[in-house]
Structure 1
Amino acid sequence: MKSLSFTAMLETANDPVHMRRPKFIEKLDEQKLVLADAGDIRTVQRSAEVDGIKQAVV
């Protein structure tokens, strides 16, 4: 047991700010692309039609 050494555990990131930060940075990067190319259009698909039935796209 004397040869074992203990280290501090990393704190889990339950902070909401840290959880939102990557998504915010992704949106900022997208805005940079829009500024660079005015012809670029953002497309978001929320639903798709499968066998005549609209279903939410995940």
Structure 2
Amino acid sequence: MLDCAVIGVPDRKWGEAVTAVVELKNGARLDASELITLCHALPLGAGSGQGAGRAWDGCCAE
């Protein structure tokens, strides 16, 4: 990973859902399910065990 941010986005059920935005290094590959698995393996706090992800190429290109 080159950079990341964790933000809240509107959610109908919970009011707000925690979402990670990740920028990968050039040539790196990581799909959403791999990122969710990695996050669940880290002792960063109690979570619901739920996760959803989307990936898009070039969303942050300058």
Please give the range of the TM-score, normalised by the shorter of the 2 chains.
Answer: under 0.3
| Alignment TM-score, normalising by the size of structure 2 | 0.24
Q: Answer 1 or 2: which has greater strand percent.
A: 2
Q: Which has the higher contact order (CA 8 A, sep 6+)?
A: 2
Higher helix share: 1
Larger Rg: 1
